[in-house]
Structure 1
Amino acid sequence: MSNNEAYKEIAPRLQGLRDAMDMSIEELAEKTGVTAEKAALYESGTVEIPVSYLMDVAHLCGVSLTVLISGNEAYLKNYALVRKGKGLNVDRRKDYDYKNLAATFVGRRMEPFMVNVPPKEVADMNFTTHRGQEFIYVLEGRLELRLDKSVVELEVGDSLYFDSNTPHALRGLDGKSARMLDVIL
């Protein structure tokens, strides 16, 4: 499924969830920290929907991220096994390739992702913020992480834990993609 198709599938779920919560677009926007115009764009299915926004809406509305992304409820309670290279695709931003590694687990308290971060120019880095905390562990390549005005370079085996409210952006270094485990709490 292409990213554009995914946006078209997620958009009505966003709108339906907001309607079910009897919330105006302005109320949802205020509670998630985006403008009403941006929230309406996400519900239109014509623009990329950041994972951080989906997580904020899911948290606010008391549903799992899996429901918003796939339309299916999580169903495993004892454990969720994800084989190498698998996981629920959450390619909601063109910046990175995300795979959720626990999408089928009910009641999870964290969102673990396998993320491939492509190389890019500094000017092309897109900063994001979201609630919670984040843990990154580099598995392949070299990764640059910008935290507000700080620049941190990470190599294989390096990890970083940070407050996700800090504006942050990533890029692979040396003209190559980097692969990392990203856990969002």
Structure 2
Amino acid sequence: MGRKRIGKKIKEFREFRKISREDLAVQANLDVLQIEQIEEKEIVPSLGHLIKISRAFGVRIGTFLDDQEQIGPAVVKAGEAQAGLSFSTKNESSREHLNFFSLAQAKAGRHMEPFIVEIEPAAASDYKLSSHEGEEFIFVLEGKVEINYGKEVYQLDKGDTIYLDSVVAHNVHAAANQSAKILAVVYTPV
């Protein structure tokens, strides 16, 4: 899905619901300028911000990421994952260095969002904690991952897993200044 499409979908949904940008910003606990940049300037929101916007509307994040209508299971064969979506930005204060590849684009009505996530190395100054409602399950496929979770720091190696409450401020990043890859399943209640 293209960067422009997320903002367009959010704007269309907001206008359909007759919600002003100001009201959406208040409900999502975001700044009006952030909403404007997402809708008009092709700025891809962080995953945390996208979840907050989805919650403000009372819909799943998949509503803005993909949502194709398919009855039954969604199967993604090895090597056939759809093009990814990067939640990295040029904004140094919110850089996340994460490239997401959805594993359930074809499944409408889902309640979980499974992704393969490629994590690029980043400077410690780029780590920004975020929180949102829901839960996350992470399985490390390649490399090493460090997770700041509240006041704790967890080091995960290939094959390790963590299941966490997303409401606790957290950040997932590559450890040892090397790229990593994870399977992440995000659940956000509607």
Give the shorter-chain TM-score range.
Answer: 0.7 to 0.9
Cα distance in 2 for partners of 1:29, 1:120 equals 29
How big is the alpha-carbon RMSD for the aligned residues of Structure 1 and Structure 2?
A: 2.0
Partner of 1:51: 47
TM normalised by structure 1 equals 0.86
- 1:93 is displaced (CA, Å) by 2.5
Q: Is contact 2:7–2:44 with CA below 8 Å preserved after alignment?
A: no
Listed as ranges, the gaps of 5+ residues in structure 2 are: 90-96
Question: Partner amino acid for 1:21?
Answer: R
TM-fit CA distance, 1:27: 1.5
Shift in Å, 1:174: 2.2
Partner of 2:23: 27
Where 2:136 maps in the other structure, the secondary structure is strand
After TM superposition, the score normalised by the length of structure 2 is: 0.84
**Residue in structure 2 matching 1:80, options 67, 74, 83:** 74
* Corresponding position of 2:182: 180
Partner secondary structure for residue 105 of structure 1: coil
Map of 2:117 onto structure 1: 115
SS of 2:183's equivalent? strand
Given the superposition, is the C-alpha separation of residues 52 and 84 from structure 1 closer, same or farther in structure 2, using an over 3 Å criterion?
Answer: farther
Contact (CA 8 Å) 1:88, 1:103: kept in 2 or not? no
Deviation at 1:66, TM superposition (A): 4.0
SS at match of 1:28: helix
Segments of 5+ residues of structure 1 without an aligned counterpart are none
SS of the residue corresponding to residue 139 of structure 2 reads strand
> How many pairs does the alignment contain?
179
Report the Cα offset of residue 130 of structure 1: 1.7
Q: Which letter maps to 2:169?
A: P
Structure 2 CA distance for partners of 1:90 and 1:165, relative to 1, 3 Å: same
Find the partner of 1:91 among 86, 89, 92: 86
